[in-house]
Amino acid sequence: MKRILLILTLFVVTGLRSFAQDNDDRGDKLQERMKEFIQKRLNLTKNEAERFSPVFLRYIQDLRRTHKENIADRPILQLKVAELRVRYRNEFKEIINEQRANKVFEIQREFQDKVKSELISRQRNERLDRRTQALDF
């Protein structure tokens, strides 16, 4: 079950990124929000956050590239993503302890779920606004 959630999360992230590609600034803001969300949830010290940020951003870039390169072959994509997470978990462990390094991916999933629900809510509100405007005329 966790594996399925992990895979769905990956697709949500890449879907959000493709949506954000219309405006790179929006994608950068989303990345920044995710980084801050994770740092806050992990209770990182200032020193840990300074060391963690570049590694995390590199992880996100590698995750996107891996998804783009392997989108047509889901089993290979799943394998590559798992390998990527193991590699970066080890890098995170050098900066923060093992327990928090393992939590990075859970918190990332929480953030993605939060953003997805915000997008769905906005879309619903926009549809309601359009319907209301149509009824006004």
- Angle separating helix axes 74-95 and 98-136, nearest 10 degrees: 120
Residue 115 has pLDDT above 70, yes or no: yes
Q: How big is the CA angle at 78 (ends 53 and 59), to the nearest 5 degrees?
A: 10
What's the pLDDT band for 31 if we cut at 50, 70, 90? Answer: confident
Domain residues for the domain of 108 are 2-136
Residues 58-85 have a mean pLDDT of 94
**Number of structural domains, the chain?**
1
- Give whole-number Cα distances, 5 to 18, 34, 109, in Å: 20, 18, 9
Q: Among 92, 129, 130, which Cα is nearest to 108's?
A: 92
- Between 48 and 1, name the one with better pLDDT: 48
> Does 137 score more than 70 pLDDT?
no
- Its pTM stands at 0.69
Residue 107 contacts residue 92 (beta carbons within 8 Å): no
Mean pLDDT across 102-121: 91
